[in-house]
Structure 1
Amino acid sequence: MSNMSIVKGSCLCGAVSLSTTSMSKNVGACHCSMCRSWGGGPLLAINCESDVSFSGEENIGVYQSSQWAERGFCKQCGSHLFYKLKQNNQYFIPVGLLQNCEGLVLDHQVFIDEKPKYYCFANETKNLTGAEIFAQFAPSE
């Protein structure tokens, strides 16, 4: 986590805005089939832990995408707002929503085993398969 001041962002239409003080400098790319269906390509997101505040909450729609996670979107413009692990309220915010973010680094890719062959990133990153991610984040039952 960085010691950055407040980082702010908003959806495309401005109906929902967000802020955080606990933003990682590491951008991750998720190649899972759900993220690619949700946004038409990989989700590029930043871990903001549970420290995310929203305004315009009446404009936030939530989709329960799995037993352990939900995805938020703006009901007005459709912008993707977050992927959240329900167990610990850990937010992953799409990096494109955030303003004035310098020094960010794409350093990891998840669900690398589901990444289509028609694109790749030039950065050297840590790569995790879906099974490796589930072992880290899925709640044990």
Structure 2
Amino acid sequence: MIREGGCLCGAVRLKVEGEPLNVRVCHCRNCQKAMGSPFFARALFPQSALKVEGETAHYPSSAALERVFCKRCGTRLFARRTNGTAAGVALAVFDDRNAFAPTEHIWVSEKMDWVQIDDGLKQYQESVPQ
């Protein structure tokens, strides 16, 4: 299966092939600041499954993760692990914005107080236990 998406202005297009490794909503403080939103809803894929066309920029949000965005409009597209293993693509950038539904919430210990999670999905105070 191939899913496509892109930024607000259309300068960047992306494709992912295959099924995601997981689909999660992250409430950590880094994701809140990086996304300018209460959380980051994303589908995680092997980096090898992600193809990007167009000019992007990136910045490190931690030693393990860098955030990638459109250089023209600033749309936050995905976060990729610096070790080259995986990339979490923002659910809202897919052309079919309902292509993937989250199955769990992570870093709930850092969620904003006014965010109410009542969707019945699993919740983890930090990351998913290994």
TM-score (norm 2): 0.87
Indicate conservation of the 8 Å contact 1:11/1:79, yes or no.
yes
| Distance in 2 between residues matched to 1:102 and 1:80, nearest whole Å | 18
What is aligned with 1:48? 45
Further displaced range: 73-82 or 36-45? 36-45
Residue 73 (structure 2) pairs with residue 82 (structure 1): no
- Return the letter of the residue paired with 1:9: G
Deviations 1:113-132 (A, max 9, x none): 101220123211222233x4
TM-score using structure 1 length: 0.81
Q: Which residue does the alignment assign to 2:122?
A: 126
Partner of 1:31: 27
Instruction: Quote how far apart the aligned CAs of 1:18 are.
Output: 0.2
For residue 25 of structure 1, report the CA deviation from its aligned partner.
8.4
On the 8 A contact 2:57/2:69 being kept in 1, the answer is yes
Q: Which residue number corresponds to residue 139 of structure 1?
A: none
CA RMSD of aligned residues (A): 2.0
* CA-CA distance at 1:34 after TM superposition: 1.2
Q: Deviations over 1:99-124 (max 9, x none)?
A: 22656332111111101220123211
Unaligned stretches of 5+ residues in structure 1: 137-141
Q: Which protein has the bigger helix share?
A: 1
Aligned counterparts of 1:104 and 1:74: Cα–Cα separation in 2: 22
> Alignment length, in residue pairs?
128
Q: How do 1:1-141 residues align onto structure 2 when only pairs under 5 Å count? A: 5-24=1-20, 27-39=23-35, 40-50=37-47, 51-56=49-54, 59-100=55-96, 102=98, 104-130=100-126, 132-133=127-128, 136=130
1:37 aligned partner, one-letter code:
K
Q: Identity, % of aligned pairs?
A: 25
Q: Hey, what's the Cα distance between the residues in 2 that align with 1:102 and 1:12?
A: 17
Output the CA distance in 1 between the equivalents of 2:93 and 2:15.
10
